[in-house]
Structure 1
Amino acid sequence: MKIGIGLPNQIRDMRPDALPAWARAAEAAGFSSLGSLGRIAYPGLMDTVALAAAAGATRDIGLMSTLLLAPVWPPVLLAKEVAGIDAVSGGRLTLGLGLGGRVDDFVVDGLGPRGTGRRLDQDIEIYRSVWRGEVPPGCDNPAVPVGTREVPLLFGGMAQASFDRVARAGHGYIGPSAAPERVGPLFDRARAAWRAAGRRGEPYLVALAYYALGDEDAGRAGVYDYYRSAGPDSARARAAEVRGGADDVRATVKAYADLGVDELMLNPTVDDLEEVTRLAHVVL
């Protein structure tokens, strides 16, 4: 199982200028990928900006959105943005997409929080059309340069439609940030949908977990704050699942490896650069 590390782009009032150093440290330490979280209505750094900065600061490490809220974007604009990030990185981007569940993230007129699953299914076809170099409606030219590749897509979500989307249009599935025993059945559903669709091989499975190896209290407080808009009960539950301390992190790694996960993305809860080194000493 590969082990990646998240970028601190959705920590409240994080220092954006620290992100390139974080990306370089993660690559030097040997993590498999750098991940981003995506929200608009939060005082962090946009995931597309974070991934672009990481692409420019590194040479080999993978880049992955975990998850980008696709339906809040006009699809042609997102396809062009993603193609640019992937090209700048030399083809290192994997695009993890979700629907979004917070109304305040839907800030574009005409792209509201209803019908997001149907919209995403339509948008996927638009992304691929753009990446193939086809001219978007209303445009005089293709939106991307010749040679743009089709970026691999992963999908999150817990409804059956999400697993069907993985099987129909995806490279794999990203589970929610939750305890392994809760996420394991979701990976099984992704595998089942994949087989039912007649896909060859297996879906690429990515797990997410928060960690805090320095100031655990600050880390849990940060996760509570991030999920506070979902209600205090949900925020407390998410904060309680932060992996605190080396033994807890190692146990989480083992649990996900036992589930047959392909890659575990460990997301930071503070923007302290030393958290990269601490995590590397524990899991690599």
Structure 2
Amino acid sequence: MDVGVALPTMAPGYGPGTTVDWSRGIDTGPFSSVSAGERITFDNPEIATTLAAAAAVTERVEVIANIWILPMHPPTLVAKQVATLDHLADGRFTLGVGVGGRGHDYRAAEASDERRHARLDECVASVRALLAGEPPFPGADPVGPPPVRPGGVPILGSPMGPRSMARAAAWADGVTGFSVAGRGDEMRRTNELADRVFAEAGRPPPRKLSGCFYVVGVEEPLATLRAFAARYLAIFGADFADAMAAECWVATPDDLGRVLDDAEAAGVDELVLVPGTVDRRCLDATAEVVAAR
């Protein structure tokens, strides 16, 4: 199983040097990818700009948008950004897409969240066509630059249940899930659903990513982890956020080894670790655990 590390873009204290520092550390470590997710009404940096910086200062790891809330944006603009990211990463870019769950982000982006699942399907088709060289309208020049990788930029879906999994099976190259607390049973259920639904659609088994929140290598790691999770999830209400934060447990090197074992046993192809701190000691401690596997 591969192990990727997300940039700690949602953690307090993310500063001007964090993107470059962590990206270089991930690239030189025993990791498979660097990634970032999207939120608008939060204090994280913007996804495309952040991933562009990560792509520019790395040479080896895959650069993943995990995930881009595609229905919030014009598909042609996203295609242009994706094409640029693919070139900056020299063909190492992968696009993870989803519908999101935060109405505030849609409202702030001046976008409607109506029909967002159907619009995701439509947007993916548009982005694929644009990346393949089709012009955005008759008589227009194509949107470039063309993808570096033969076959284009891989696209991952982020379905949350059977209906959205069936939609993703029509167009996704893989799926990217998430278990806030790093529960192996949750990952297994998602992976089994993905394999079954893709098979029913006549598709080969998809690449399966998952992820979880964690903190290791710093003072009071469990308290730091749970404070991070509660802060990030606060948009859904304090009671829900606190309850979910209390479920988080990956806060020691032994815990990290266990969640990696659980994810691998659950059929995860790549586990993306999402740190709840910007402290580089967390990344260094993570590298030690992963390198020892």
- Superimposed CA distance per residue, residues 231-270 of structure 1 (whole angstroms, 9 cap, x where no aligned partner): 1233124323251111111110000111111000111101
Deviation at 1:283, TM superposition (A): 2.1
Q: Which amino acid aligns with 2:49?
A: V
Q: Distance in 2 between matches of 1:146 and 1:94?
A: 14
Residue 180 of structure 1 corresponds to which residue in structure 2? 184
Counterpart selection for 2:267 from 240, 260, 284: 260
Cα shift at 1:153:
0.8
Question: Percent identity, aligned pairs only?
Answer: 30
Does 48-57 or 135-144 show the bigger shift?
A: 135-144
CA distance 1:273–1:192, shift in 2 (3 Å):
same
Q: Which runs of 5+ in 2 are unaligned?
A: none
Q: Give 3-state SS (helix, strand or coil) of 2:135's partner.
A: coil
Q: After TM superposition, which residue ranges in structure 1, 4 or more long, deviate above 4 angstroms?
A: 146-149
Alignment of 1:211 with 2:199, yes or no, is no
Q: 1:271 aligned to 258, 271, 278, which one?
A: 278
- State the secondary structure of the residue aligned to 1:281: helix
**Residues 112-135 of structure 1, C-alpha deviation per residue, up to 9 Å, x if partnerless?**
122100101110111011101111
CA distance in 1, matches of 2:48, 2:28: 22
| SS of residue matched to 1:66 | strand
Partner of 2:104: 104
Three-state SS of the structure 2 residue aligned to 1:94 is strand
CA distance in 2 between counterparts of 1:70 and 1:242 reads 31
Deviation at 1:276, TM superposition (A): 1.1
Alignment partner of 1:133 is 2:133:
yes
Q: Does structure 1 conserve the Cα–Cα contact (< 8 Å) formed by 2:174 and 2:208? A: yes
| Counterpart position of 1:70 | 70
> Is the 2:211–2:273 contact (alpha carbons within 8 Å) kept by the matching residues of 1?
yes
Residues 145/139 of structure 1: CA separation in 2 closer, same or farther (3 Å cut): farther
Structure 1 CA distance, aligned partners of 2:197 and 2:23?
Answer: 35
Does the Cα contact within 8 Å between 1:13 and 1:44 map onto a contact in 2?
no
Query: Number of matched residues?
Result: 282
Give the TM-score normalised by structure 2.
0.91
The farther-off stretch of 251-260 and 4-13 is 4-13
Distance in 2 of aligned mates of 1:6 and 1:196: 32
The residue identity in structure 1 corresponding to 2:164 is: S
| Separation (CA, whole Å) in 2 of partners of 1:11 and 1:245 | 18
Range that drifts further, 115-124 or 43-52: 43-52
Q: Are 1:12 and 1:42, in contact at CA under 8 Å, matched by a contact in 2?
A: no
Distance in 2 separating the partners of 1:238 and 1:25? 29
Offset at residue 139 of structure 1 (A): 7.1
Relative to 1, partners in 2 of residues 1:146 and 1:5: Cα closer, same or farther, differing over 3 Å?
closer
Q: What's the counterpart of residue 152 of structure 1?
A: 154
In 1, distance between residues paired with 2:278 and 2:42?
A: 15
**Does the CA contact (< 8 Å) of 1:10 and 1:38 recur in 2?**
no
Residues 190-222 of structure 1, C-alpha deviation per residue, up to 9 Å, x if partnerless?
A: 11111001113x110101011111142223212
Q: Secondary structure at the match of 1:34?
A: strand
* Separation in structure 2 between the aligned mates of residue 10 and residue 98 of structure 1, nearest angstrom: 18
| Residues in 1 aligned to 2:74 and 2:123: alpha-carbon distance in whole angstroms | 8
Shift of 1:148: 5.3
TM-superposed deviation, 1:177: 2.4
CA RMSD across the alignment: 1.6
**1:175 maps to amino acid:** G
Structure 1 counterpart of 2:240, one-letter code = S
Q: Distance in 2 between matches of 1:218 and 1:182?
A: 23
The aligned residue for residue 47 of structure 2 is: 47
Alignment of 1:197-236 (within 5 A): 197-200=201-204, 202-213=205-216, 214-215=218-219, 216=221, 217-236=223-242
Match of 1:244, SS state, is: coil
| Offset of residue 77 of structure 1 | 0.6
**Residue 64 of structure 1: CA displacement?**
1.1
